[in-house]
Amino acid sequence: MTGVMEDSVIFGEIATAGGRRFGRVTLNGPATLNALTLEMIDRMAPRFEAWAADPSVVGIVLDGAGEKAFCAGGDVAALYRAIRAEKPGDVPALAEAFFEREYRLDYRIHTFAKPVLCWGHGIVMGGGIGLLAGASHRVVTHRSRLAMPEIGIGLYPDVGGSWFLNRMPGRLGEFLALTGAPLNAADARFAGLADFTVPHEEKACVLEAIAGTDWSNGPDANAAQLSRLLAGFESPMAPEASPLRRHFDLIDQTIGHDTLAETVARLQALADHADPWLAAAASSIAKGSPTSLALAHEVLRRTRDMSLAEVFRLEYQLSVGCCTQHDFAEGVRALLIDKDRTPKWQPATLQGVTPALIAEHFKARYAGAHPLADLG
């Protein structure tokens, strides 16, 4: 394999037995758990485009440097600084650029015509799940921990979360959106966020097997070949190792079909559940932004029948809108900047979240055509 380091991303190519190549992209910020920056996005996007157009490149491997994380999410600390540099209510230029280009890259991975193997080892959260979710071959390991914990920072599950959460079994998607509950490898498989469970220790062997395979010119044949290759390294977890599967019926009954306030009350009642995983998930609601709870619930409702491109367009509006309101900056401040973990949400209760406040978050804040109008 050849490679060249370009700051926070390493690009390489894997030469294979038949002369064709796999591209390789490695997020290279282990000190920040490979948090996704605009610079990283802007380096990756043109490389994906070049490999898409190159007939000698038959697939891509996407992974993260270090042993702790594939990607712990987007660089929200940079967004916080950009928000604080603006007048209250103004849209930071960084927010417009970051969300447009992040979602454009996520969409590119979802629709990429060649196999994309994403190695989701360790921590995979927020923007990391955005990269993982669209890959054709999503690998988790026994040390993978996935989550969409955005309610804790005054945001909501974006990066296509409105798409893949709505497509999970039963009402698991809304449960995860409202609680930010962490998932292990078995959970990720059950929820449809992963396709293969491979021990992390086998990663080098997987890459060697890719190099030793004679790949064809056909994307479908190569996708099937890659599936067979990964299946040969699988070490599945037992179904009972998934708390998400174990509590599926209870979660379905708890989320229900009624109002968000009634759903939240039932979820909070599970804080005393005997299973520590479920109790912790239920307890997290009380710590999250009430506005984020309402936004997560509303965006899932609005996007239920939308196409993937339409989802990303609506999420762009909502994410930019969050940057003009109070809770997102306050949540990042409390968690990552001052680290006091005592955010002062406004409003402080779900009852105080008005329809007008929710509508303000969804308002379009761009002139002319939508920045993602060309998707789809």
Among candidate residues 150, 174, 195, 315, the one labeled active-site is 150
Among candidate residues 74, 152, 288, 331, the one labeled active-site is 74
Give yes or no: 74 in active site: yes
pLDDT for the residue numbered 1: 46
Q: Which residues of the chain have pLDDT under 70?
A: 1-6
Going along 8-148, which residue ranges are E strands?
Answer: 9-15, 21-27, 57-64, 69-71, 116-120, 123-125, 137-140, 145-147
Full set of structural domains in the chain with CATH: 2-362 (3.90.226.10)
pLDDT for the residue numbered 7: 78
pLDDT for the residue numbered 376: 86
Residue bearing tokens 């949400």: 345
pLDDT for the residue numbered 184: 97
Per the rule left: phi > 0, alpha: psi between -120 and 50, beta: everything else, 170 is left
Neighbours of 268 (CB within 10 A): 14
Give yes or no: 89 in active site: no
Measure the CA dihedral 32/38/44/46, to 10°.
-170
Among candidate residues 13, 75, 106, 158, the one labeled active-site is 158
Burial grade of 256 (CB within 10 A; 0-12, 13-18, 19 or more): middle
- Closest by CA to 153, choosing from 362, 353, 333, is 333
Give yes or no: 158 in active site: yes
d(CA 368, CA 371): 9
Give yes or no: 134 in active site: no
State which amino acid sits at residue 51. Answer: W
CA 87 distance to own-chain centroid: 29
CA 246 distance to own-chain centroid: 23
Among candidate residues 120, 127, 180, 331, the one labeled active-site is 127
